[in-house]
A and B are shown apart, each in its own frame.
Chain A
Amino acid sequence: MIPAMKIDTDNLSSHMIVPQLGWVPLNLRELWKYRQLLRIFVWRDVKARYKQTMAGVTWVIIQPLIAMVVFSLFFGRWLGISSGDVPYPIFTFCALIPWTYFVHALTVSSNSVVGQQSVITKVYFPRLLMPLSAVLSGLVDLFAALVILIPLMFFYGLKPGWELIFLPVFILLALLTALSVGVWLAAINVRFRDVNQAMPFVTQLWMFCTPVAYPLSVVPENLRPIYELNPMVAVVEGFRWAVAGQGELPLRMMLVSICAMLVVLIGGLYWFRREEACFADVV
């Protein structure tokens, strides 16, 4: 039989439930306590994505690969857009890797709360884990795409230099950018499903504002200060610098966009926590 054990009621921590109105603390300590669950959520997302698909992980690679071919043909060859000192396919693929990840992370995280109605109305856990696991699980795709880059670089006779060690910095920046906008959209999506309708449109517009298909140099100097507020500009330029050694470390750009991103991220986290109280009632 089950061994009898006594619950020690002397050392229990107590918590109080009161109406939640307005802004509340982020409670990052609790989030840390639930890191195990975050790991399981990430694994669940990855598993759910590839289950019962024949091509499995190939799908993730095909997407940026085909985009690369199309872009190289239309923009690189026919429109003759300059890609500087690296071949156009490498130039655009270096941008497509973080960009594809970003779009995916953004889409999945904005749907992360709405897509789990049955769980959030029945089980308690810190809700921030949902958008967080969404942006983390997309990293698997990003690494798969990075692996494809190796033979491609080899084909064009390019070798990455010491700059490559800085790649994680730009991956982290892409992740945090996706998270910063993702938490806002995830919370708004609970009340307004319009977010789903707007998503494809927003990401398309965003891509035009990011130097994926064209070099940064075509953007007029006087628009740069606004243009560079978009953290994905720094991410894309950073990827090109770290992988293909093109240009320089976009340090100033990074500082500007990290500041912009942090404002959006911190605001988003607090907004999410504020809205959290009504998730189970409204969703």
Chain B
Amino acid sequence: MGEFAIKTSKLGKRYVLGTRGAHQGLHKLFEDNLRALAKPFLIQHSVADADQHPQFLWALRDIDLSIRHGEIVGLAGHNGAGKSVLLKILSRITWPTEGQATLEGKVGSMLEVGAGFHPEFTGRENVFLVAATLGMTVDEVREKFDQIVEFAEVHDMLDTPVKRYSSGMYVRLAFSMAAHLNANIMLFDEVIAVGDADFREKCLARIKVMADEGRTIIFVSHNMELIKELCPRTLILSSGKLVHDGPTDIDLLDRYAHLVEHR
């Protein structure tokens, strides 16, 4: 269809800071009303006043992005820069406050190691569970099942609940699933930080293969070496704004370090 897998324009997400009104519960509403009534008799009501003026935080604002099919894009930024919020919006977990995003195809996201796993389910059952969250049918999963297990190296543990898995096995299975299911847009949030060096190499190789297959990948990491190795293009977010969007270069590391220091 189109040229771009992901296209956003003026995308923004605003959060209300603090806990006000509905977010706090009925008793708070009741208390606020009571306070308002009693206001003339109260000497100090600074706390109540602070509540009256909600503070907003733009976790993300004015994000204009165009990502082509088959691109691997690195996404960096300090903690709280809006990386996760962006991925959450793209994977339809939360909604934007303004702007829009258009996605072509199926989005598979891995926002946390083993997100969507059920701890009581066995490895085998979890493969079907996670696949079903992508809207895949049992037959489609069966087709890929052996590949998934082989890549994750969890043959012996397939019928054990994943709550008894080591963190290494956990991340291997989770990544393997994400890598083999039929989504064409993949969003990874700092997920291969876990796991040993060998498996990391394997993951990186696999991500490259996925990109060759024509999948689009956004890869969030604090590890600039990983991004340099993997992503021809880098985005840097700072306080919800896109401050860099272009080819990955050596300057990048310095610039990124500078950003983190001077925020």
Contact B102 A119 (CB under 8 A): no
Contacts A17-B90, A44-B121, A281-B94 given; indicate if A122 touches B115 (C-beta within 8 A).
yes
Contacts A12-B184, A36-B137 given; indicate if A18 touches B213 (C-beta within 8 A).
no
Choose among A14, A121, A122 the residue with the greatest number of B CB atoms under 10 Å from its CB. Answer: A122
Cα distance A168–B2 in the bound complex, in angstroms? 49
Chain B neighbourhood of A15, CB < 8 A: 102-103
With an 8 A cutoff between CB atoms, is A147 at the interface? no
Cα distance A82–B211 in the bound complex, in angstroms? 74
Contact A19 B103 (CB under 8 A): no
Contact B103 A17 (CB under 8 A): yes
Cα distance A118–B184 in the bound complex, in angstroms? 25
Residue of A nearest to B25 (CB): A192
With an 8 A cutoff between CB atoms, is B66 at the interface? no
With an 8 A cutoff between CB atoms, is A85 at the interface? no
With an 8 A cutoff between CB atoms, is A33 at the interface? yes
Q: Could you give, for residues 155-172 of chain A, a 1 whenever the CB lies within 8 Å of some chain B CB and a 0 otherwise?
A: 000000000000000000
Contacts A7-B214, A12-B104, A17-B95 given; indicate if A194 touches B26 (C-beta within 8 A).
yes
Chain A neighbourhood of B70, CB < 8 A: 7, 9
In the complex, how many angstroms separate the beta carbon of A216 from the nearest chain B beta carbon? 36
Contact A124 B93 (CB under 8 A): yes
Contacts A12-B184, A281-B15 given; indicate if A44 touches B129 (C-beta within 8 A).
yes
In the complex, how many angstroms separate the beta carbon of A105 from the nearest chain B beta carbon? 21
Contact A123 B133 (CB under 8 A): yes
With an 8 A cutoff between CB atoms, is B194 at the interface? no
Contact A6 B100 (CB under 8 A): no
Contacts A14-B105, A16-B100, A122-B115 given; indicate if A9 touches B69 (C-beta within 8 A).
yes
Contact A14 B104 (CB under 8 A): yes
With an 8 A cutoff between CB atoms, is B249 at the interface? no
Residue of A nearest to B114 (CB): A122
Interface residues of B in 128-165 (CB under 8 A from A): 128-129, 132-133, 135-138, 147, 151
With an 8 A cutoff between CB atoms, is A206 at the interface? no
In the complex, how many angstroms separate the beta carbon of B70 from the nearest chain A beta carbon? 8
Contact B147 A2 (CB under 8 A): yes
Q: Could you give, for residues 108-150 of chain A, a 1 whenever the CB lies within 8 Å of some chain B CB and a 0 otherwise?
A: 0000000000111111110000000000000000000000000
In the complex, how many angstroms separate the beta carbon of A170 from the nearest chain B beta carbon? 31
Chain A neighbourhood of B51, CB < 8 A: none
In the complex, how many angstroms separate the beta carbon of A9 from the nearest chain B beta carbon? 5
With an 8 A cutoff between CB atoms, is B88 at the interface? yes
Number of chain B residues close to chain A: CB under 8 A: 57
Choose among B22, B92, B95 the residue with the greatest number of A CB atoms under 10 Å from its CB. Answer: B95
Contact A44 B118 (CB under 8 A): yes
Interface residues of A in 239-283 (CB under 8 A from B): 277, 280-282
With an 8 A cutoff between CB atoms, is B215 at the interface? yes
Chain B neighbourhood of A58, CB < 8 A: none
Cα distance A124–B99 in the bound complex, in angstroms? 20
Residue of B nearest to A191 (CB): B22
Among candidates B101, B136, B213, residue contacting A5 with C-beta atoms closer than 8 Å: B213
Cα distance A256–B102 in the bound complex, in angstroms? 45
Q: Could you give, for residues 78-106 of chain A, a 1 whenever the CB lies within 8 Å of some chain B CB and a 0 otherwise?
A: 00000000000000000000000000000
In the complex, how many angstroms separate the beta carbon of A122 from the nearest chain B beta carbon? 4
Chain B neighbourhood of A123, CB < 8 A: 93, 109, 111, 115-116, 133
Cα distance A11–B69 in the bound complex, in angstroms? 13
Residue of A nearest to B210 (CB): A7
With an 8 A cutoff between CB atoms, is B37 at the interface? no
Chain A neighbourhood of B212, CB < 8 A: 4
With an 8 A cutoff between CB atoms, is B120 at the interface? yes
Can you pick out 5 interface pairs between chain A and chain B where the beta carbons lie within 8 Å of each other? Answer: A10-B1, A18-B96, A19-B97, A20-B95, A122-B116
Give B residues with C-beta under 8 Å from A. 1-2, 5, 15, 22-23, 25-26, 69-70, 88-107, 109, 111-112, 115-116, 118, 120-121, 125, 128-129, 132-133, 135-138, 147, 151, 180, 184, 206, 209, 212-215
